[in-house]
Chain A
Amino acid sequence: MRKVIFIVVSIAYITLSFVQCSTDTSKRELNSEESVDSVSIVHMPAMDSTSGLVIDEGMELVKANCTACHSSKLIIQNRASREGWLDMIRWMQETQNLWPLGANEEIILKYLAKNYAPENVGRRAPLEEIEWYTLEDK
């Protein structure tokens, strides 16, 4: 029994040290602007130059069916699960004259749910993209 507890505690200790270690690394990385740049480049997907949409399978169908009525900006600023995107499509079909999408619906849904998926931002996100400037004395 005592052995088991010892093993559990050891594992917990090792795990904790590992978590702490990786947290320290990320702090260091994010304190340097260069690292932030390289992190963001990794995350930046290729964009279509005319619509700003992420280039991926299904993009042309999205352009053809969605931007006939509204700007691609409306898509790009939204985030939803597959179910959420489907809800939006149904709402547009019921109230906004969107046509039936047929077999393309599945491809469009896949594209949207993959490239414009929600992220958990908690109850309130930190202040973002602060543009620092020196406030002159009056």
Chain B
Amino acid sequence: MSKRRTFIKKSSLALLSGFVGTPIIFAKNLPKGMEPLGYFDDDVFIIPGKDERLTVLNDRPINAETPPHLLDEEVTSSSLHFVRNNGLLPKKSDPKQWTLTIEGESAERSVSYSLSELKNKFDHYTYQLVLECGGNGRSEFNPPAKGNQWTLGAVGCSKWTGVRLKDVLNDVGLKNDAVYIGYYGKDIHLSQNPEKVVISRGIPLKKAMEEETLIAWEMNGEDIPEVNGFPLRLVVGGWPASTSGKWLSRIVVRNKVHDGPKMGGQSYRVPCESVAPNTKVEDEDMCIIESMPVKSLITYPKSGAIIREGKSLELRGHAWAGDLEVSKMEVSIDFGATWNQTVLQKPVNRLAWQHWKVSVQFPQKGYYEVWAKATDLKGAAQPMVVPGWNPRGYLNNACHRIAIKVL
């Protein structure tokens, strides 16, 4: 993210290496508006249906993330859910005219459903599902990775309503050799060339047939916002959000790994074997990202809170772990030297984030950071530093940190 880079220019002299090699900053009060984005952002870019407090990373295509303290709600409001678009919005169309076609070499037949057919023919399900961009946290990789420089907030957990993808696939019929599905949407390529597909990713059949994998038309009980895929989208909880195709018009059932744009090459893929930073990795040595790693956020308080000595501080947030559940959630106020266990709730349904809270007491006046660390059911925990470098900067699940001053 540009922020870190302008900042580092000004602050590198003020860094002091603390214990466990953790940098501690004591130049605390830097002037606002120093990031390059701020210079020309006076006329705030408003995204239809979205809160203007989102951080807009890009306005063509539209990409915006949610500052962590705005993710405090148990269910993320539609207006606060992040936006990651690869192309331009399709023209808003009449949902009555919308159709979804299921076909492909491993489908028994080609079937087109209207929205009302989908709604009438299949049972409806509502789940709270974590959608997180595979590149969330990209801004921290060093050397930097190309693309939108997401910091922390390309994640959300809203309530999605629709039909199960598996019910629709079973209605169409699957051949024995079906292994993967791919989606196509109606977004428009940046070059405006109608022949070009913006993005067409997919998931293995096993994930497609899970109970929680939805073809959804409702977000939090209302129409899905245009920028999030109105009127119809896939919602694949726990996997890179790019698998949850928006403005969904076609699903193909494949007898091989789907090969649409952004399935191959370096997109949404990481080195099959870990590499040293800045290594050039051949396409054939890159593997598709599946389940997202364990991660958490501190959503209260907002970073930068000044509190009075002797007061305890209530902290809270969410934790999630891709396909898995989070089994332990801890916070540290001493740069990772000791950890406090938090009270962690169960998810409302599989693939929903889990809420945690804890009260902490600071021993004396001073500058503190609260670090948050989640551990999944298999024992994998969030790293304190940025995890394995990869060419496109995916899967940064380093612990979230907020700054606290005790006066």
- Residue ranges of A at the interface with B (Cβ–Cβ < 8 Å): 23, 26-27, 29-31, 33, 36-37, 39-40, 43, 47, 49-52, 69-71, 73-74, 76-81, 84, 87-88, 95-97, 118-135, 137
- Roughly how many angstroms separate A33 CA and B39 CA in the complex, as a whole number? 20
Q: Is the CB of A31 within 8 A of B27?
A: yes
Q: Does B142 contact A (CB under 8 A)?
A: yes
A-B CB contact pairs (8 Å), 23 listed: A30-B14, A31-B27, A36-B30, A40-B31, A43-B9, A43-B10, A47-B39, A73-B58, A76-B36, A77-B37, A80-B146, A97-B193, A118-B143, A119-B5, A123-B386, A124-B140, A124-B385, A125-B7, A125-B140, A131-B32, A131-B304, A132-B304, A137-B308
A52 touching B307 in the complex, CB below 8 Å, given contacts A71-B60, A84-B146: no
- Roughly how many angstroms separate A69 CA and B87 CA in the complex, as a whole number? 10
List the A side residues contacting B117 at CB < 8 Å: none
The residues in B between 168 and 212 inclusive whose CB is less than 8 angstroms from any CB of A are: 189-191, 193, 196
The residues in B between 139 and 172 inclusive whose CB is less than 8 angstroms from any CB of A are: 140, 142-144, 146-149
List the A side residues contacting B34 at CB < 8 Å: 40, 129
- Roughly how many angstroms separate A127 CA and B24 CA in the complex, as a whole number? 8
- Roughly how many angstroms separate A124 CA and B151 CA in the complex, as a whole number? 13
Task: Tell me how far the C-beta of A18 lies from the nearest C-beta in chain B, rounded to whole angstroms.
Answer: 15
Q: Is the CB of A76 within 8 A of B37?
A: yes
Q: Is the CB of B304 within 8 A of A130?
A: yes
- Roughly how many angstroms separate A47 CA and B41 CA in the complex, as a whole number? 12
Q: Does B405 contact A (CB under 8 A)?
A: yes
User: Digit string of B33-65 for contact with A (CB within 8 Å is 1, else 0)?
Assistant: 011110111000000000000001111110000
Per a CB cutoff under 8 Å, which of B30, B60, B311 touches A137?
B311
User: Digit string of B235-276 for contact with A (CB within 8 Å is 1, else 0)?
Assistant: 000000000000000000000000001000100000000000
Closest B residue to A25 using CB positions: B13
- Roughly how many angstroms separate A83 CA and B239 CA in the complex, as a whole number? 31
A69 touching B23 in the complex, CB below 8 Å, given contacts A36-B31, A97-B196, A130-B28: no
Q: Is the CB of B304 within 8 A of A73?
A: no
Q: A30-B26, A120-B142 are in contact. List 7 more A-B contacts (CB 8 A).
A: A70-B60, A78-B144, A80-B146, A124-B22, A124-B386, A127-B303, A132-B29
The binding surface of chain A is classed by DSSP as: loop
Question: Considering the complex of A and B, which 10 residue pairs feature the smallest CB-CB distances, nearest first?
Answer: A97-B191, A52-B40, A26-B13, A126-B25, A135-B305, A128-B7, A30-B27, A71-B60, A30-B14, A69-B190
List the B side residues contacting A131 at CB < 8 Å: 32, 303-304
Closest A residue to B266 using CB positions: A91
- Residue ranges of B at the interface with A (Cβ–Cβ < 8 Å): 1-11, 13-15, 22-32, 34-37, 39-41, 56-61, 140, 142-144, 146-149, 189-191, 193, 196, 261, 265, 301-308, 311, 313, 369, 384-386, 398, 401-403, 405
Task: Tell me how far the C-beta of B18 lies from the nearest C-beta in chain A, rounded to whole angstroms.
Answer: 10
Per a CB cutoff under 8 Å, which of B11, B41, B57 touches A128?
B11
List the B side residues contacting A73 at CB < 8 Å: 37, 56-59
- Roughly how many angstroms separate A118 CA and B1 CA in the complex, as a whole number? 11
Q: Is the CB of A37 within 8 A of B31?
A: yes
Task: Tell me how far the C-beta of A110 lies from the nearest C-beta in chain B, rounded to whole angstroms.
Answer: 18
A132 touching B28 in the complex, CB below 8 Å, given contacts A47-B36, A125-B140: yes
List the B side residues contacting A79 at CB < 8 Å: 5, 144
Closest B residue to A54 using CB positions: B36
- Roughly how many angstroms separate A129 CA and B29 CA in the complex, as a whole number? 7
Q: Is the CB of B10 within 8 A of A39?
A: yes
Q: Is the CB of A134 within 8 A of B306?
A: yes
List the A side residues contacting B61 at CB < 8 Å: 70-71
